[in-house]
Amino acid sequence: MSWSPLSDLGVPLPLVAAPMAGGPSSPELVAAMNGAGALGMVAGGYLSPDALAERIAAARATGAPFGVNLFVPGPPLDAASRAAVDRYGSALAADLEALGAELGAVPEHDEDAYEDKLALLLEDPVPLVTTTFALPAADDVSRLRRAGTQVWVTVTTPGEARAAEEAGANALVVQGPRAGGHSGTWDPHRTITEESTATVLRTVALATSLPLIAAGGVDGPEAVRELRAAGATAAAVGTLLLRTVEAGTSAIHRASLADPRFTTTRVTRAFTGRPARALHSRFVEDHDDEAPTAYPVVHHLTKPLRTAAAAQGDAERVHLWAGTGFRAAREVPAATVIEELARDL
């Protein structure tokens, strides 16, 4: 039998709780996933290294294997993109006025403390590190592996898969366009098309012999079976967990996922400057076509606006990340979601 990354970690089920930074992947959700026999993931994005260390300690206390996800930083913005960000700021004037909010301060460059988080993970190794947004340096991959850590790299195309294999990844997370939240694409200018995760998985499988974990649009056990039939060694699920009891999802995000006024999702750069799938709200409708591709600068620019909108209960202006399967997300214990997905596996 071929090597399996989840069996190697000691995870009983071929199911992964997709990392969801910004709140949803709470320590309680990680513990619930581990307790249910799925792989719990600590979402390291946006956390300070100290906060990440605390999350790691909490995950370790479950006694089960777990992973840590990191955002790999891209290059700093060029002058033209900075000018586009300034223009975008002006285009948000009416929204800011409606909320009584101001534009956020934009840092020169923000690498999400990637190097410090990496140093932490090398000093105090965890069972698994997964990455998204860009290719991690081959040297970093090999240092993590030498520390006894498995490394999975998120890819969205066959080309990314080949490069990640060359960089020494143990396995690949293949994220399809139907996934909720940010696309892991290494080229944020790329148009994110609408094909199924199974289709992306099959094309990636032709480019690599690494084990593949499929993510994007899972809305029930049938979707898991389809992805496994298409060659996935496991399926990762994000949106389905957003309304679970243990998730740290904000109240407005939870309510919006069940609000009949939101009927579709759309990939947009309007909130952060990187393509991300969200509920199709007024803000997305108004600003998607003028938003520059400039992550994380646009994330910082719109942050006070989004925070004010959430505080005022204005769901139309909050980044409501959601995959295409959002209608199937229910307010139940997270273990119930896993039990249902594992049925007939």
Kindly tell me which of 84 and 223 has the beta carbon lying closer to ligand FMN: 223
- As measured in angstroms, the least distance from the Cβ of 185 to ligand FMN is 11
| Site for ligand FMN contains 181 (CB under 6 A) | yes
The CB-of-236 to ligand FMN minimum distance in angstroms stands at 6
Across the beta sheet with 15-17, the strand order is: 15-17, 234-237, 212-215, 171-175, 150-155, 128-132, 66-71, 40-43
Stretch that binds ligand FMN, among 27-35, 284-292, 320-328, 333-341 (CB under 6 A): 320-328
Which range touches ligand FMN (CB under 6 A), out of 55-63, 178-186, 202-210, 259-267? Answer: 178-186
Judged by CB under 6 A, does residue 198 bind ligand FMN?
no
Q: In terms of CB distance, is 180 or 292 closer to ligand FMN?
A: 180
Residue indicated by tokens 């994000």: 238
Q: Which is nearer to ligand FMN, 69 or 281 (CB)?
A: 69
For residues 296 and 110, is the Cβ–Cβ distance under 8 A? Answer: yes
Please state, in angstroms and rounded to a whole number, the distance separating the CA atoms of residues 322 and 211.
Answer: 26
Candidates 140-148, 174-182, 282-290, 299-307: pick the segment binding ligand FMN (CB under 6 A).
174-182
For residue 190, give the nearest of 133, 117, 109 by alpha carbon. Answer: 133
> Within 13 Å, how many C-alpha atoms sit on residue 66's CB side?
30
Preceding omega of 27 cis (within 30 degrees of 0): no
**Residues β-bridged to residue 69:** 43, 130
179 binds ligand FMN (CB under 6 A): yes
Nearer to ligand FMN, 117 or 182 (CB): 182
Q: Does 92 bind ligand FMN (CB under 6 A)?
A: no
Q: Is residue 325 close enough to count as binding ligand FMN by CB under 6 A?
A: yes
List b or e across 61-94, with b for residues whose CB sees 16 or more CB atoms inside 10 angstroms.
ebebbbbbbbbbbbeebeeebeebbeebbeebee
* CB-based contacts of 54, cutoff 8 Å, min separation 6: none
27 binds ligand FMN (CB under 6 A): no
- In the bound state with ligand FMN, the residue whose beta carbon lies nearer, of 103 and 278, is 278
Q: Give the nearest residue (CB) to ligand FMN.
A: 238
Dihedral, 200, 201, 205, 207 alpha carbons, nearest 10: 30
Stated length of the chain: 345
Ramachandran bin of 82, using left for φ above 0, alpha for ψ from -120 to 50, beta for the remaining angles:
alpha
Size of the site for ligand FMN (CB under 6 A): 30
| 208, 239, 272, 281: residue in contact with ligand FMN (rule CB under 6 A) | 239
Q: Minimum distance between the CB of residue 221 and ligand FMN, rounded to whole angstroms? A: 14
156 binds ligand FMN (CB under 6 A): no
DSSP tag of 72: P
130 SS3 class: strand
The answer to whether the CB of 151 falls within 8 A of the CB of 170 is: yes
In the numeric block, which tokens belong to residue 343?
């049925």
**Residue 217 sits in the site that holds ligand FMN (CB under 6 A):** yes
Position 268 contacts ligand FMN (CB under 6 A)? no
Q: How far is the CB of 100 from ligand FMN (least distance, A)?
A: 26
Contacting positions for ligand FMN (CB under 6 A): 18-22, 24, 43, 45, 69, 132, 154, 175, 178-182, 184, 215-218, 236-240, 321, 323, 325
